[in-house]
Chain A
Amino acid sequence: MSKVLLLSKVLLKNAESIWGAKKGSGWKKLLLVLALVIGIIPMILGAVVFLSAMYDGLALIGQEGALLGLGFTVASLAIFIFGILYVLSVFYYSQDVEQLLPLPLRPAHILGAKFVVALCYEYLTALVLLGPLLVTYGVKSGGGIVYYLFAVLIFLAVPIVPLVMAALLVMLFMRFTNVGKSKERFRLISGLFAICLAVGFQMFVQRQSSGGVDSLEQLQQMIASQENALLNLVTQFFPAGRLAALALQDGGTLESLGFLAAFFLVVLASLVVFLVVGNSFYFAGVMGISEAAAKRKAIGKTAFQKLVKQRSRLLSYFWKEWKILWRTPAFLLNCTLSSLLIPILALLPVLARRDSGELLARLQASLQGEHAGAVSLAIAFAAILLLGALNSTSVTAISRDGQGFFYNKTLPILPQHLLLAKVMPGIILSMVGMLVLLAEAVWLLSLSGKFIFWAALCGIPGVIFINLIGIMVDLHLPKLVWSSEQEAVKQNFNPLFSLLFGLVTGGLVAVCVMYVEASLFATALGLFALFALLDVAIYRMLVVKGPKWLENIED
């Protein structure tokens, strides 16, 4: 046990220095915190308002306890999904793994310590998801000291079971895919396949369940009657959440103590299962993780001539970035494929509904009205912008280089060309995302060719805008110290900034267009001109100031 604690301390310290390694002046850090607070406060306030309305509605029928059950279930599901990513990056793809393997440690020691690290990350997720719920419920139900004591205990223990489940899933997956020469590719393909399977399953379940939820009342009814198949299924999947809810519901009674004990028993049991399974599967899955396939065969003459092609510096650097984006699994999932996957995944909840046809028809009608033209365009524009903001390619372009970034500075390439080559992949990927989105719109909403043309026309400068903003953010706050590629893109705050920027800009555009009430043509032209001008201005700034900013990044 002491070895586990010692190791966790070391790993956490290491992670902390990685988190805190963003070197920047005081105001940059302040700006970072401020932006995060501004971004998160409305979300939390919204959640509190929503939760208290739900509470009041459920209290009328004496079912307010169901709110806790639902909250723990949703949080468990989110923790489980995040857990898969954390376990992959902390347990497997972290660079410290190969240093820990030769030490005289049992798998259980390493596993225990890594579990603690992943759990600490999960507490952040849990805090955002459960914090507002537990406090709102406490205030509304007039909970006393016992309630809050129970709440803290349960908060600390709730993430354990879903994290164990994620870890078990990943450990089994990694164990049985640790075969063959191109295991990285094999793992990626089987991982994608698993995602498709999960999404398909979810769609199936959702289609089976009753029509969907349109209003708060319906949601309340659904929770109270427990008719929803999906909810039931998820609750069954995370039974510990139900026990926790029951324990918290009537905090202090003998019954609740019993539930609490049962809950902790489940948590403890899950930990035991985790250690037992991990003991036999972890090492077998993690050994040789950094091995790569090699043929060691001389390249043929024609292939050689094809590979030895002369390109301009700008184009050559772009190709290098492009290849690395496609070949690195963590970048492929988070940057490259996400531009295709996000517009498709966003569509699924709509298609999964039984009444999707009706819903689409309604949407179509509202989008095609005479006056709706300009507003629809603004909404389409905002959606394209948001899609660009969700893609982290440009906003991690510098961070992805890690310590190798400094080598760039020794190359005889103009800094402005380097920046351009780094922002180009993001722009291309966002454009692809935009085309997918517009194709979906044509397919489902049968929008006119004219509308699509205008949307694409203003979408292009919009996409360029958000990508330029992204690289500006990364230039000022690059995360160059990381121990796994996953960390460079996932445990990086910069994508959050670009998201925030996309949301605010998209929102502003939509509101302005609604107020101005111009025609579709005027709006399209206006948006195009405005964002093209903004693009030129930011590009000029990058060209003039960018070299200095690049130079300022020192280790």
Chain B
Amino acid sequence: MIELINVTKSYNGTNKAVDQLNLTVPNGEIFGFLGPNGAGKTTTIKMVTGIIRPDQGEITINGKNIATQPLEAKQQFGYVPDSPDQFLRLKGLEYINFMADMYQVPKDVRGQRILELASRFEMTSALGDPIQSYSHGMRQKIMIMGVLVHNPKVWILDEPLTGLDPKASFTLKEMMREHADSGRTVFFSTHVLEVAEKLCDRVAIINKGKILFCGTFKEMQQHFQSDHSLESLFLELTKHE
């Protein structure tokens, strides 16, 4: 579970990227975080993961406060950033092993888990090559694998489907579903509204640092008394802002 209470972040003192944000991402759900470019999605994710500090407010992950118990909080989640161009000089396997060390995955389960992930994402033959030699999609896959190797309770994924091939995209969506169904949390941002509509149990739409709507797709249709798709509701909602 992720909880944000009255979280505010401003740049240069005036420009509020995130403004008095309140959000609860419950267990057992896939939660979609939607919004136009520059709405404050990535800023919010960066605050949740401890990359930047909020000016005000409190953030907890499974009850652990990211500001006061950073290590315990970080142990709860796995985070896939929006740019997979990291650790390029390491080999795929070295990177995943590095991540396993960071989260102290025991040696006896580590090897097995890496092999499982590699075969699910069809990366077995690429593990011995440097990440620099990977395509964009493969880099995305290895980042996801590095995060999933410690079997985190909370998944935080920033645009995770960008660049993935149909098979990997399907696999990841399947895994997200399994993860949520086992009573744990998936929090992800996306621009692809069709995916969000089909995959998410609940969505939040953010624009200019404020949550415009938070709830299930059904609730959204009821709220706006319309049977339109998420896409047209989204466009309607963010049009006048």
Contact = CB atoms under 8 A, between A and B. Distances in A.
Interface string B69-93: 0110011000101010111011101
Given A305-B111, A327-B89, A412 B130 contact: no
A356 interface: no
A406 B106 contact: no
A254 interface: no
B110 interface: yes
Given A290-B132, A293-B133, A409-B51, A324 B89 contact: yes
Contact of A320 (B79, B90, B129): B90
Interface in A274-323: 290-299, 303-305, 307-313, 315-317, 319-320, 323
A404 B87 CA distance: 8
Nearest to B91: A307
A317 B94 CA distance: 11
A409 B50 contact: yes
A292 B135 CA distance: 11
A457 to B, nearest CB: 34
A396 to B, nearest CB: 15
B52 A296 contact: no
A551 interface: yes
B126 interface: yes
B101 interface: yes
Contacts of B70: 412
Given A307-B93, A324-B90, A412 B103 contact: yes
Nearest to B95: A320
Nearest to B102: A411
B128 interface: yes
A448 interface: no
A215 to B, nearest CB: 50
Contacts of B128: 295, 297-299, 303
A108 B132 CA distance: 29
Given A297-B128, A404-B86, A414 B71 contact: yes
A294 B139 CA distance: 14
B136 interface: no
B126 A294 contact: yes
Interface in B97-123: 97-98, 100-107, 110-111, 114
A294 B97 contact: no
A17 interface: no
Contacts of A412: 70-71, 74-75, 102-103
B125 A297 contact: yes
Given A297-B128, A304-B111, A410-B49, A323 B94 contact: yes
Nearest to B50: A409
A315 B129 CA distance: 22
Contact of B97 (A295, A309, A312): A309
Would you call the interface of chain A mostly helix, strand, loop, or mixed?
loop
A409 B49 contact: yes
Contact of B74 (A307, A309, A328, A410): A410
Contacts of A312: 101
Given A294-B126, A310-B101, A410-B74, A304 B93 contact: yes
B210 interface: no
Nearest to A415: B70
Contacts of B97: 307-309, 316
Given A296-B125, A298-B124, A554 B52 contact: yes
Nearest to A181: B133
B102 A323 contact: no
A403 interface: yes
Contacts of A410: 49-51, 74, 79
B46 A406 contact: yes
B101 A313 contact: yes
A407 B86 contact: yes
A292 B133 contact: yes
A413 interface: yes
A412 B125 CA distance: 29
B172 interface: no
A513 B124 CA distance: 62
B23 interface: no
B53 interface: yes
Contacts of A310: 100-101, 104-107, 110
Contact of B102 (A291, A298, A316, A403): A316
Contacts of B101: 310-313, 315-317
B230 interface: no
B53 A295 contact: no
Contacts of B51: 406-407, 409-410, 554-555
B127 interface: yes
5 tightest CB-CB pairs across the interface, nearest first? A316-B101, A294-B133, A412-B74, A292-B133, A292-B132
7 contacts: A294-B134, A295-B128, A305-B111, A308-B114, A313-B104, A316-B101, A412-B102
Interface of A: 290-299, 303-305, 307-313, 315-317, 319-320, 323-324, 327-328, 403-404, 406-407, 409-414, 551, 554-555
Interface of B: 46, 49-53, 70-71, 74-75, 79, 81, 83, 85-87, 89-91, 93-94, 97-98, 100-107, 110-111, 114, 124-130, 132-134
Given A316-B101, A327-B130, A411-B74, 20 more contacts: A292-B129, A292-B130, A293-B130, A293-B133, A294-B126, A296-B125, A298-B125, A305-B111, A307-B91, A307-B94, A310-B104, A313-B101, A317-B102, A320-B98, A323-B94, A406-B46, A409-B51, A410-B79, A412-B75, A554-B52
